[in-house]
């Protein structure tokens, strides 16, 4: 299917469930009809012409450090860098280094988020925000130690009280009834923070059943000012899982330059694989109009899922490089960058490889 030009595709607008307290729904909705699609950032294609110089290297968390027992894989490794520190998170462990690689501390994420260590938890993400000078960590937690008995999932969010990751964090959570937000994403701009996830049904009592239906992307828009200030009940808008049941893996952008619009990016990695969708989140959760979301679709060159990658020294055990969903998004200086995995044949090669897109 050939997509028409982006300008010919009408924008879609979404209405959130307005939530003032992240622990309980207050069930009031904002009227947002007639919203105008914000300006969509430019897209750029860049050929890598130079190789960055490595100033130092050091070992991160290894499997014995995982603290989650045998079979705890994949490790879901995430790394962020602040003014003075490098912080790595895996399934349930965080480790803080200085920039020379000296180990400062190791902490269990269940302890950080103050949850029962027997409860199933996973999929952390960590970002350092250069605008607010704060660390943000998102986390997925179920309501049962046994994923096959879980009925609900929860978004958890930790926000540092300073630019020093060894200092206390403010902790927030939001329960998603009857569903769980798989692989929670995390992004922010000047005045908003978004945590989102690929929502799967837990009906009736089994979040671990891979045959249960995919419900769509769900996400929360948080007031960044409230989070940074450590407000006990920050203003937030919840956008339920039917926002877009076709795209998969909507990634909120980490904004590295000032913008009043928080952009998100997704692709249709299960179907036509020839477009991306730009989500524009405007407004701020609170007692007034709150946030609103609009989308526009942009055609790109058709892509396909990456093949298995050969593993050096073990030809019988190839590496699963995943599918073609987007993994990350960055906004900076008017450009929106998205990354994912796709198949390609490199120059001077005749074999289809797993490549960065």
Query: What gap in Å lies between CA 179 and CA 176, rounded to an integer?
Result: 6
Mean pLDDT for the stretch of residues 111-125: 87
Picking from 16-20, 66-70, 238-242, 297-301, which range would have the lowest pLDDT averaged per residue? 16-20
* β-pairing verdict for 254-255 and 326-332: parallel
Assess whether pLDDT exceeds 50 at residue 38.
Answer: no
Residue 202 — very low, low, confident or very high, per pLDDT cuts 50/70/90? confident
Identify the pLDDT of residue 70: 65
* β-pairing verdict for 153-160 and 179-188: unpaired
pTM, 2 dp: 0.84
pLDDT digits (tens, 9 = 90+) for 234-262: 999 999 876 565 667 789 999 999 999 99
Rounded to a whole number of angstroms, the distance between the first and last alpha carbons of the chain is: 21
Mean pLDDT for the stretch of residues 211-219: 81
Query: Considering the chain, what percentage of its residues have pLDDT values greater than 90?
Result: 40
Q: Is 72 exposed, middle or buried (0-12, 13-18, 19+ CB in 10 A)?
A: middle
Q: Mean pLDDT in the chain?
A: 81
Q: Which pair of tokens denotes residue 262?
A: 């928080």
Q: 144-153, 220-229, 270-279: which has the highest mean pLDDT?
A: 220-229
Identify the pLDDT of residue 42: 58
Cβ burial 143-178 (10 Å sphere, 16+ → b, else e): bbeebeebbbbbbbbbbbeebebeeebbbbbbbbeb
Assess whether pLDDT exceeds 90 at residue 233.
Answer: yes
Q: Which pair of tokens denotes residue 304?
A: 């396909």
Mean pLDDT for the stretch of residues 286-299: 89
pLDDT digits (tens, 9 = 90+) for 72-114: 777 778 999 999 999 999 888 999 999 999 999 999 999 999 9
Identify the pLDDT of residue 18: 44
């Amino acid at each position: 299917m050939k997509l028409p030009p982006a300008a010919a595709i009408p924008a879609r607008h979404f209405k959130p469930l307005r939530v003032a307290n992240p622990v309980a729904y207050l069930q009031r909705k904002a009227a947002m009809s007639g919203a105008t699609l914000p300006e969509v950032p430019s897209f750029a294609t860049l050929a890598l012409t130079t190789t960055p110089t490595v100033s130092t290297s050091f070992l991160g968390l290894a499997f014995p450090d995982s603290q989650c027992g045998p079979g705890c894989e994949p490790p879901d490794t995430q790394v962020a860098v602040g003014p003075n520190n490098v912080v790595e998170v895996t399934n349930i462990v965080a480790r803080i280094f200085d920039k020379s690689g000296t180990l400062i501390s190791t902490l269990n994420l269940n302890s950080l988020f103050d949850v029962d260590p027997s409860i199933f938890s996973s999929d952390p993400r960590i970002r350092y925000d250069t605008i607010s000078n704060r660390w943000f960590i998102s986390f997925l937690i179920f309501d049962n130690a046994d994923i096959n008995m879980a009925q609900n999932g929860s978004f958890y969010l930790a926000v540092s009280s300073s630019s020093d990751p060894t200092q206390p964090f403010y902790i927030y959570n939001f329960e998603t009834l009857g569903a769980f937000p798989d692989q929670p994403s995390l992004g922010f701009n000047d005045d908003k923070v978004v945590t989102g996830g690929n929502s799967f049904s837990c009906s009736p009592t089994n979040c671990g059943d891979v045959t249960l239906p995919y419900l769509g992307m769900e996400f929360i828009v948080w007031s960044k000012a409230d989070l940074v200030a450590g407000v006990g009940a920050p203003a937030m808008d919840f956008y339920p899982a039917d926002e877009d049941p076709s795209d998969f893996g909507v990634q909120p952008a980490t904004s590295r330059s000032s913008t009043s619009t928080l952009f998100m990016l997704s692709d249709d990695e299960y179907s036509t694989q020839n477009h991306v969708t730009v989500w524009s989140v405007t407004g701020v959760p609170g007692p007034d109009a709150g946030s609103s979301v609009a989308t526009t679709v942009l055609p790109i060159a058709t892509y396909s899922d990456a093949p298995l990658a050969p593993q050096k020294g073990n030809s019988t055990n190839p590496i699963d490089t995943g599918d073609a969903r987007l993994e990350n998004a960055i906004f900076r200086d008017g450009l929106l960058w998205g990354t994912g995995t796709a198949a390609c044949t490199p120059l001077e090669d005749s074999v289809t490889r797993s490549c960065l897109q």
